[in-house]
Amino acid sequence: MTLLFSICLYTHNRAQLLAQALESIGAQSLPQDQFEIIVVDNRSTDDTLQTVEAFARRYKNLRYCYEEHLGSANARNRGWREANGEVVGFIDDDGKAPPEWLSVAARVARERSPDLFGGPINPFYDAPKPDWFRDAYGILSPGGASRFLTSADEYLYGSNLFVRRSLLQGVGGFDEGLGMKGQKIGYGEETVLIRRVRQVFPASRLYYETDLMNYHLVRQEKLLFPWQIRRRFAEGRDGYHIFGNGAHRMTWRHALGVLALPVVITYEATLGVLLRNRQSFPYVQNYYYEHVLQRIATLGRLYERLRCTLRARSAADG
């Protein structure tokens, strides 16, 4: 029987979370002879290897490989290059899948024949969440019904993503300049992959399936605003590279934004929060999360534009 799926998990020093993810994948209703599990150890120094070895004694379709070059994109590229399946599936080490996850994926592959497909990601928690934190904050989904994604501004998410291996080979995999690098927050390698697929293979078929759902852990540190500030700034910084044209040009409007945004953020974080609409933002944290942090992302994008513009000018001047 042809191996249908290769499920790749990259991990870095999170053996306990990895065990939870492996437990869920090992319990899939899809027969184990139709998929393999590839764990890419991205320079872990904890007991990741021992954890994988323990699961390998239970699941004969589980393989381990070590990737020295730090970064989620590096690890994902190593994973699909090690894969034998026709379709490569990606899930994070702090994710978990319901038992029917791969059975649904097999149905989608059989009935829709997409080149790339995925589904929604819902949050789960390892401790009681605070009252202000809405579950919607942890949901990753393009929304709506199951459908082919024909709009250029619709994307899928890297922790619930299936891609034909031949397609990954055709576009060269993930951009290794983006994504997480150990503890350094980074994003966007899957978005760039999808953009690249649409550019190189415009006839490719991308599909979103609402039944193809899995879960992603909202860790306790993600409920703290210092982490959220770092995250939003990183989203803006990486978004500049993902959606920019590489021209690295700073206009007066951009320069004014760099100067004005800290003032706007200070105002909104102090007086603005007192004047907020309390029906829309019943908690102070809701206002910060939904409003002020959006400004942080914009600041990150402008900062990266300024940094890249100055670097480009310096290089041009020799």
DSSP string, 163-222: EEHHHHHHHTSS-TTSS-BTTB----HHHHHHHHHHHH-TT--EEE-TT--EEEEE-GGG
Strands 147-148 and 206-208: antiparallel
Q: Which two tokens stand for residue 120?
A: 């929604």
Decide yes or no: CATH 3.40.50.150 for domain 5-219. no
Q: Which residue has the higher pLDDT, 1 or 183?
A: 183
pTM of the model: 0.95
- For range 204-208, the mean pLDDT: 98
SS (H, E, C) 1-12: CCCCEEEEEEEC
Q: What is the pLDDT of residues 293-314, one digit of tens each?
A: 999 999 999 999 999 999 998 8
Helices (H), 207-290: 225-243, 252-267, 273-274, 284-287
Give the percent of the chain with pLDDT over 70.
99
CA distance 116 to 142: 14
- For range 258-268, the mean pLDDT: 95
pLDDT recorded at residue 1: 54
pLDDT recorded at residue 247: 85
Closest alpha carbon to 9 in 59, 33, 137, 286: 59
Question: pLDDT-derived band of residue 317, with 50, 70 and 90 as boundaries?
Answer: confident
pLDDT recorded at residue 183: 87
How many residues does the structure list for the chain?
A: 318
pLDDT recorded at residue 318: 67
Domain boundaries, the chain: 5-219, 225-316
